[in-house]
Amino acid sequence: METRRLTVLSAGLGVPSSSRLLADQLAASAKRQLEAAGYTVQVDTVELRDLAVDIANNFVTGYAAPRLAEVIAGVEASDGIIAVSPVFSASYSGLFKSFFDVLDPKALDGKAVLLGATGGSDRHQMVLDYAMRPLFSYLRTRVAATAVFAGPQDWGAADGAGTPLAGRVDRAAAELAQLLQGTQPGRRPAPMESLPFEQLLAGISGAR
């Protein structure tokens, strides 16, 4: 079976955070639907708050610390991205934007992306279309048509199954799963392997 690698980016600041809760629901639904389509799915979840200092230092020094460099490499190697941010001042958080600012501008070319946001009022849901979607269009990604906003009323039920939020999550995840089927234009080729000189020489000798 083919493998699809998903990187889940949560910019929530609390522990736990509603952004992480939404990100986990989106990832679980996407994984379930991709597996139903016959794919093996690897999910890597990243809490951006754990990288806040490294991201700030990257701006000053131009150097990514090992943990940040590992996350960046993981994002570049992924097939799809689930990106969720809390809403601050009618936009995504500064931490969320800062992470994407330290990426190579071409790193996300063609990647499938599912967007999510959380906030204290439904008035904030427009951030998905007026702030987040333009950002990912600029980065030349393939964004799922449905994005998911979750407000305080979405976390009231003990069991989220069958709730309006669950329906929105499944619909958006189905669109991401559809984008991830078939050839992936955002997949970067594996780096060329550098073989030891003795092995290269043996290969040349054997070809004679």
Name every residue whose Cβ is closer than 8 Å to that of residue 85 and which is 6 or more positions away in sequence: 11, 19, 92, 93, 96, 116, 117, 118, 132
| Predicted confidence (pLDDT) at residue 158 exceeds the cutoff of 60 | no
Name every residue whose Cβ is closer than 8 Å to that of residue 24 and which is 6 or more positions away in sequence: 8, 45
pLDDT class of 89 with cuts at 50, 70, 90: confident
Name every residue whose Cβ is closer than 8 Å to that of residue 116 and which is 6 or more positions away in sequence: 19, 22, 23, 26, 82, 83, 84, 85, 128, 147, 148, 149, 150, 172
pLDDT value at residue 123 = 78
| Predicted confidence (pLDDT) at residue 172 exceeds the cutoff of 80 | yes
What are the structural domains, with CATH classification, of the chain?
3-207 (3.40.50.360)
